Structure 1
Amino acid sequence: MKIFKQLTYLLVATFLFVSCSSDDDAIDSPPLPLGDYEAGFFVANEGPFGTGTGTITFVANDFSSVSQSIYNTVNSSDIGNVVNSMGFYAESAYIVANNSHLVQVVNRYTFESEATITDGLDNPRNFVAVGDKGYITNWGDAFVETDDYIAVVDLLTNTVTETIALPLGPEKVIAVGTNLYVAHQGAYGQNNLISVIDTTTDTVSTTITVGDVPNSMVLIGSDLWVLCGGAPSYATVETAGSLVKVSTATNTVSATMTFEVTEHPSLLTSEGSDLYYTLNGEVYTMDVAAATLPTTSIISGFFYGMTAHNGKLYATDAGDYASDGTLKVYDLATQVEEQSITVGIIPGGIYFNN
């Protein structure tokens, strides 16, 4: 009987030990890290035009670490000349180097090279993914009005499968469902169109006339807000900037607010229902329900790129355009500068890797 009891106690103790160990493993085991560059954001640095290479800076979300030139560090090679933008698809990042006429594809968490896309690209500008297809705006020859297009990329093979002819100067692009909205800034000239592309057929379904030089866009609900810089002072005829509201349900302009003739705003971004943009070295904000443009700025600075994210404004300062630039981070509630971080030469867009 004693032996039976002892065996029973031993079996129970063993069961409890194994159960507790399994529970502890399930509770205590942290997820495996995806790579050195998760939980942070990238700054795309154009680099010097015509010579050298652009770079990517990685900054941790809590600003505890900053890593420079991460593509070169990981791959022991350069990205290419003039890093214009970045985009994401699944676990990959697509880095657009327009003056080198290529897109570098990397793992977004390790930054290890996966592919280089060159065929079918000519002065590429911006990338967006819809399903398993990527779309890259291309200027072609910036002085020629008839060779602009968007390249369609099979993202499973990273090859260009076709091109869609577009009017002059396709630049920023936003996906809304199965539609793409392409802003025609006008390359080295000026344009005033938004092309709408149906990605189920890869054809242009309509065009929308907005203000001159649409340079940035954000989507809030079903409304596309388009900031138009207006034709600059050196153009044949200088025109005013404007803020245009486009309904993506009807693909029509539903409202337009016009700046003064000599005012040329840029860098539209948004947080919730608030819009932010720059004008003459000042940052302005307005709610989308406002009926008029704001007259008082909230932050001063000549910025080259700007993104609002989680209650903060991230803005890049290119400085002298020849040496390392700066990333500045502001609290949107207080407008107080919280961070100033050295990045690469001519820093532009900010891209969050969350």
Structure 2
Amino acid sequence: MKKYLLLFVTALALGFASCSDDETIPNLTGIAIESEGGVTEVIQGGTLALTANYTSNVNPEVRWEVNGEVKSTDKEFSFTEAEPGKYYVTLVVSTEVGEKRVNLPVTVYGKYKYGTFVLNEGNFGNPPSSLIFISPENEMTEEAYFEANGTHLGVVSQDLFIANNKMYIISQNGGEDGMLVIANAETLKKEKGFSKDQLADLNWPTHVAALDDSHVYIRDNNGVHLFDPTTTSLSLIEGTDGAIKNRMAVTAQKVFAGANNSLLVIKDNKVIKTIALEGTPTGVVKASDGNVWVSVNSTPAKIMKVSSKDYSILKTNKLGSFQVSAGWGATPAISAKGDSIYFGNNSTTIYLHDFAKNQTKELAKIGDYIQNATMTYNNLAVNPKNSDVYVTTIKGYGNDYLTNSIGVFNFTSGTTKLVQDYKNATRFPAGVFFTYDFE
């Protein structure tokens, strides 16, 4: 009996050993989420391709979650969301012995975060002011603000500024959404609007700049005002009378504004420095290194770089026979990408000044490439990302303003290339604005 029992136990043990040898113990390592190019942000409504990476000796189950909600069970996942914000993508990989998970934060940004805006004055409300948007893929939205809100900007909109994910748009006459509109810079959804009555102390406002939510600077015929949207307080800054009808530059937590034969440096509610110039400034632009470009319509004309820290003039270049007039326009006479400074001298010719080499040359006559480009309406602007030069032209006044163009040129190859010619989209363009200039 003992002999048979021993044989049975031995056989049973061998049977278990045999089963153990045949059974595979699941192994799971190297769990990771792979995104194409390592990208972790995507435009609203766009698609971010994600792949589950892992090493396993079995075929595990895969699950994708977004903010805790299961979205897919495939190895590859196309992430997309309609609303901007921060999302948490979780990859869960499981076997019969357990699961492992890894998280990836993904930012969904608004349609208008990156690209180019063209602000239209309109024709005293008929048509109304509007905002054109051109995406990095050169797709145009002609009524971007109206599409986002179903309402129109103030009558004769003049300028805009982007700071802290807010867009500030100033108009001369106010109107449906206010004289000053504050919108989300990524979605253009209106957040606040301030009426002409609320800003009654302003006298034909033309330009706006902002440091933060409580420091908004508005230029009008009397000078530069400090406006606090959080309290609606508005005060004229002493010493800013004579501020020119042109854009202000913001850098180093200060505002730089052109005035009669001078450059004003404003901090909080005071002019902390007045820099004398040998002529009228025609453009004040933030440089890529944080300093300030200034063009001066003197004899000869000059372009200079001013330190944003100690306000010294770092270098001045004389332009010889070339001029840098802003004309009647309300946009800077110059636009810069690095040391390459483009200007048009209130004409239909594009010029380039190489500041490092102190060399100036003509690049192109707009009329050779664009039909009915009789005159420019406000000054050219260069995209700081790709060197595309934008020029807004019209055939003329009267009904001829309806025949117009946004011409996009590029000269980086050494030849003139007309990249795009957007026809008949503007309504007296108040300026071209690149989101990258506000980063």
Aligned positions of 1:72-151 closer than 5 A:
72-100=146-174, 102-118=179-195, 119-120=198-199, 121-140=202-221, 147-151=222-226
Per-residue deviation, residues 80-130 of structure 1 (Å, max 9, x unmatched) = 222211111233211111233811122223222211123234422222232
Change (3 A) 1:38 1:259: same
Taking the aligned partners of 2:158 and 2:173, their CA distance within structure 1 comes to 9
Per-residue deviation, residues 306-327 of structure 1 (Å, max 9, x unmatched) = 2212121122113324325321
Does the 8 Å CA contact 1:127/1:134 hold for their aligned counterparts?
A: no
Per-residue deviation, residues 276-317 of structure 1 (Å, max 9, x unmatched) = 1112432211221234x62x3102234323221212112211
Structure 2: tracts of 5 or more residues without a match: 1-15, 29-55, 66-71, 82-107, 327-332, 367-374
Q: Normalising by structure 1, what TM-score?
A: 0.77
When the two chains are superposed, the root-mean-square deviation of aligned CA atoms in Å is 3.5
Structure 1: tracts of 5 or more residues without a match: 141-146, 185-190, 231-238
Does the 8 Å CA contact 2:257/2:284 hold for their aligned counterparts?
A: no
Q: Which stretches of structure 1, 4 residues or longer, exceed 6 Å deviation after superposition?
A: 2-13, 22-27
Taking the aligned partners of 2:187 and 2:290, their CA distance within structure 1 comes to 35
Q: What SS does the corresponding residue of 1:73 show, helix, strand or coil?
A: helix
Aligned positions of 1:128-277 closer than 5 A:
128-140=209-221, 147-154=222-229, 157=230, 159-160=232-233, 162-165=235-238, 166-170=240-244, 171-184=246-259, 191-199=260-268, 202-220=269-287, 221=289, 223-229=291-297, 241-253=301-313, 254-255=315-316, 257=318, 263=323, 265-266=325-326, 267-277=333-343
Change (3 A) 1:172 1:128: same
Taking the aligned partners of 1:81 and 1:30, their CA distance within structure 2 comes to 41
Tell me the equivalent position of 2:362: 297
Does the 8 Å CA contact 2:62/2:74 hold for their aligned counterparts?
A: no
Change (3 A) 1:248 1:73: closer
Q: What SS does the corresponding residue of 2:60 show, helix, strand or coil?
A: helix
Taking the aligned partners of 1:339 and 1:258, their CA distance within structure 2 comes to 30
- Aligned residue identity for 2:158: N
Q: CA deviation at 1:58?
A: 1.3
Q: What SS does the corresponding residue of 1:345 show, helix, strand or coil?
A: coil
Among residues 376, 384, 392, which one is paired with 1:316 in the alignment?
A: 392
Per-residue deviation, residues 200-230 of structure 1 (Å, max 9, x unmatched) = xx31111112243322122333542211346
Tell me the equivalent position of 1:235: none
Does the 8 Å CA contact 1:41/1:350 hold for their aligned counterparts?
A: yes
Taking the aligned partners of 1:246 and 1:125, their CA distance within structure 2 comes to 24
Does the 8 Å CA contact 2:124/2:156 hold for their aligned counterparts?
A: yes
Q: Normalising by structure 2, what TM-score?
A: 0.64
Does the 8 Å CA contact 1:283/1:297 hold for their aligned counterparts?
A: yes
Change (3 A) 1:132 1:106: closer
Q: CA deviation at 1:162?
A: 4.0
Among residues 344, 353, 375, which one is paired with 1:278 in the alignment?
A: 344
Q: What SS does the corresponding residue of 2:344 show, helix, strand or coil?
A: strand
Taking the aligned partners of 2:403 and 2:262, their CA distance within structure 1 comes to 35
Matched, 1:30 2:30: no
Tell me the equivalent position of 2:410: 331
Among residues 422, 425, 434, which one is paired with 1:341 in the alignment?
A: 422
Does the 8 Å CA contact 1:96/1:103 hold for their aligned counterparts?
A: yes
Q: CA deviation at 1:47?
A: 1.4
Taking the aligned partners of 2:170 and 2:416, their CA distance within structure 1 comes to 32
Change (3 A) 1:263 1:67: same
Matched, 1:351 2:429: no
Q: CA deviation at 1:251?
A: 1.7
Taking the aligned partners of 2:109 and 2:74, their CA distance within structure 1 comes to 20
Q: What SS does the corresponding residue of 1:71 show, helix, strand or coil?
A: helix
Per-residue deviation, residues 188-207 of structure 1 (Å, max 9, x unmatched) = xxx222111123xx311111
Taking the aligned partners of 2:255 and 2:73, their CA distance within structure 1 comes to 48
Matched, 1:17 2:93: no
Taking the aligned partners of 1:30 and 1:163, their CA distance within structure 2 comes to 50
Matched, 1:69 2:146: no
Q: What SS does the corresponding residue of 1:228 show, helix, strand or coil?
A: strand
User: Which has the higher relative contact order, 1 or 2, with Cα contacts under 8 A spaced 6 or more apart?
Assistant: 1
Taking the aligned partners of 1:112 and 1:86, their CA distance within structure 2 comes to 15
Q: CA deviation at 1:163?
A: 3.8
Q: What SS does the corresponding residue of 2:362 show, helix, strand or coil?
A: coil
